Homo-oligomer: A and B are copies of this chain.
Amino acid sequence: MDPWEGSSLTRNPFAWIREALTSSEQDVVNLSGVDTAVYFVFLSTVLGIFALSSLLILPILLPLAATDKSIKNSRDVTDTTSKGTFSQLDNLSMANITRKSSRLWAFLGAVYWISLVTYFMLWKAYKHVSTLRAQALMSADTIPEQFAILVRDIPSPPNGQTHKEFIDSFFRDIYPETFYRSLVVTENRKVNKIWEGLEGYKKKLARAEAIFAATSNRPTNKTGLLGLAGKKVDSIEYYTDLINESVAKLETEQKKVLAEKQQTAAIVFFTDRVTAALAAQSLHSQMVDTWTVTEAPEPRQILWENLNIKFFTRLIRQYLIYFIVAITILFYMIPIAFVSAITTLANLQKAIPFIKPVVKITFIRTVLESYLPQIALIIFLAMLPKFLMFLSKSEGIPSRSHAVRAASGKYFYFSVLNVFIGVTLAGSLFDNLKALQQKPNSIVTVLATSLPKNATFFLTYVALKFFIGYGLELSRIIPLIIFHLKKKYLYKTEAEVKEAWYPGDLRYATRVPSDMLILTITFCYSVIAPLILVFGVIYFGLGWLILRNQALKVYVPSYESYGRMWPHIHTRILAALFLFQVVMFGYLGVKLFVWATLLVPLIVISLIFGYVCRRKFYSGFQHTALEVACRELKERPDLEEIFRSFIPHSLSTHKPEDHQFKGAMSRYQDYAAISAA
């Protein structure tokens, strides 16, 4: 995990490229899990789509556009590319094609070509990911969550029975031979707090001991606010006392939690994988809002506090949050439109007249003109993810990976609707508003006419994204700076240093939607301004290369969902393609090309393709297929250990890492007795 050990930057600055290129998918799966491998399938699929598309499109469309004389002949034509300024780029875009020109056939064909390439690549990728997932789930190693299911909405037990007894008897009736035991979910807020306090004291004690060992001075600290006020005490003694106190408190609270704070959810364990897979997919109660079951998430990614939320409360929360997100998207549109308007250079000059002389310097002018609006946008978007993650968790989702998918989905709508459509329409919003009022159905036409005007903006947006984004990524410069500062001034123990460098995972919740935005932009401009395909290829190619390195050497996955992200990604790629087809239909209409209607079948095919993929593949991602679950294990699973892996840290008397207690059945039995009480 040490940054200097993993990366060989110091020896040969390009060695990592060779390593990244020669690494196989299996390496990625082994080192970083299926989810990371699936992310690379995404990158390589999109790269493939753009590369294959370019092969045919660039050599055909660019000359066609360049040799038309539309713009040169009529400078007053409204749909030039770079807002008013006539540049070389305009010659290479579809805006340069005369209306009704028969050259538009080539552009129509290009839409078909890109679509067919996309269908082909997506189908291949879905199949591949499906196999990847199946192989991982077939693993001959014991995966604890494959032996368990998550049961929620458990009704109140009949009189005289505890939750635990009620659950056990219900499942023992149904699975007399394969039911192993159950773990009732408890309300852990208080015990978690005590446990976290205890862990904090332990760290502080270790730090005090480290200082003592290094300096031979017994360290002291003040007991008051933030360690700045109050009585001065000897740190080692002080923390030892606190730890003893906390341990006693923790034990009392643990007993109380197990006895009194049982909730309406449980994790139920079976003796084999097939039964668990069967149970997770089957209806247990005639009334669907009781005894609802799902596959158990990995222990490390369970969102415990959500498990007690009831069936219909979850539904209500879900719709409420959809509503909040829709409102937020709408209200974000306003500041973004404002930013986009104010940061146009012409507007800036009006607002702040004294920058006029500065603007006259060509270099500064170029930078400002190209990058100012984009930087504003990127900063704006950076503020969102935490909020969306919070919303997604509030839906009552039981696992972190699911919450990440939900947040990622919301972020995608945000970025496409606000950035792409928002920016495109904002420039000419007020002119268009009138048109929209008269013809509410003409949104596609309005969007189509606005697109070419913003081609330069989005070309630079994509470029900026890969220069700055991946540059930062490669050097991981910000965390490194923070790490070194902290290491120098704050940390004393080995554990502290380790924790500080913990690089986290790939952060799908923001990474995937921001890639998706680039994808959407590239798709939509791929025929209008074909040069963007080059940028798209570079973005996803560079992304693949750099992240391959990071995935193999830096990031540590924080959970494993066995590629459940893929259907999500697939649908959104297809949605982007769909948007592209609709926009092209509109733009060819604007060009008065009557054969634009030939795109209608293509749009229908996209819908059918999505439907077929969903029917064929999706259930395999939602559930574990039985042909997958029935593979034999390398060794008999240790059911006690599986059970223990689901016990929250704060309720476990020993950390799960302490393997010396693995065989200590007597101690374990104590716990079981408490848990059964």
Contact = CB atoms under 8 A, between A and B. Distances in A.
B287 A626 contact: no
B617 A130 contact: no
A612 interface: yes
B274 A174 contact: yes
B278 A282 contact: yes
* Max chain B C-beta neighbours (<10 A), residue from A274, A277, A287, A612: A287
* Max chain B C-beta neighbours (<10 A), residue from A173, A281, A282, A285: A282
Contacts of A277: 282
A291 B628 CA distance: 13
A374 B617 CA distance: 51
A620 B130 contact: no
Interface in A592-628: 612, 615-620, 622-628
A387 interface: no
A312 interface: yes
B288 A173 contact: no
Contacts of A315: 615
A105 interface: no
* Max chain B C-beta neighbours (<10 A), residue from A133, A623, A626: A626
A622 B283 CA distance: 10
A616 to B, nearest CB: 5
A362 interface: no
A286 interface: yes
A287 to B, nearest CB: 6
A83 interface: no
Interface residues of A, number: 41
Contact of A612 (B175, B285, B312, B627): B312
Contact of A625 (B285, B617, B619, B625): B285
Given A174-B630, A615-B315, A627-B170, A130 B278 contact: no
Contact of A130 (B134, B286, B618): B286
Contact of A286 (B174, B274, B282, B620): B620
Contacts of A279: 278
B281 A620 contact: no
Contacts of A286: 130-131, 133-134, 620, 625, 627-628
A625 B629 CA distance: 22
A284 interface: yes
Contacts of A274: 174-175
B289 A616 contact: yes
Interface in A307-328: 311-312, 315
Contacts of A615: 288-289, 311-312, 315
Given A289-B615, A616-B289, A627 B284 contact: yes
Interface in A121-179: 130-131, 133-134, 170, 173-175
Contact of A283 (B283, B312, B623, B630): B623
A618 B288 contact: yes
A254 B260 CA distance: 67
A170 B627 CA distance: 8
Contacts of A288: 615-620
A625 B293 CA distance: 12
A598 B29 CA distance: 58
Contacts of A278: 278-279, 282
A579 to B, nearest CB: 24
A282 B616 contact: no
Nearest to A623: B283
Nearest to A315: B615
Contacts of A285: 620, 625-627
Contacts of A623: 282-283
Contacts of A626: 174, 282-285
A626 B460 CA distance: 58
* Max chain B C-beta neighbours (<10 A), residue from A134, A173, A617, A627: A627
Nearest to A289: B616
Contacts of A618: 288
B620 A283 contact: yes
A388 to B, nearest CB: 25
A289 B615 CA distance: 8
A355 to B, nearest CB: 51
Contacts of A627: 170, 173-174, 284-286, 291
* Max chain B C-beta neighbours (<10 A), residue from A286, A291, A315: A286
Given A274-B174, A612-B312, A282 B281 contact: yes
A620 B287 contact: yes
A281 B281 contact: yes
Contacts of A175: 274
Interface in A108-132: 130-131
Interface string A268-284: 00000010011101111
Interface in A618-673: 618-620, 622-630
A134 B285 CA distance: 10
Contacts of A619: 283, 288
A283 B279 CA distance: 11
A560 to B, nearest CB: 18
Contact of A287 (B284, B312, B617): B617
A540 to B, nearest CB: 28
A619 B283 CA distance: 7
A134 to B, nearest CB: 5
Nearest to A277: B282
Given A288-B620, A311-B615, 11 more contacts: A173-B627, A174-B274, A278-B278, A283-B622, A284-B625, A285-B620, A285-B627, A286-B628, A287-B620, A288-B615, A288-B618
13 contacts: A173-B627, A278-B279, A281-B282, A281-B283, A282-B282, A283-B619, A283-B623, A283-B626, A284-B626, A285-B626, A286-B628, A287-B620, A289-B615
Interface of A: 130-131, 133-134, 170, 173-175, 274, 277-279, 281-289, 291, 311-312, 315, 612, 615-620, 622-630
- Pairs A-B, 3 closest by C-beta atoms: A278-B278, A286-B620, A281-B282
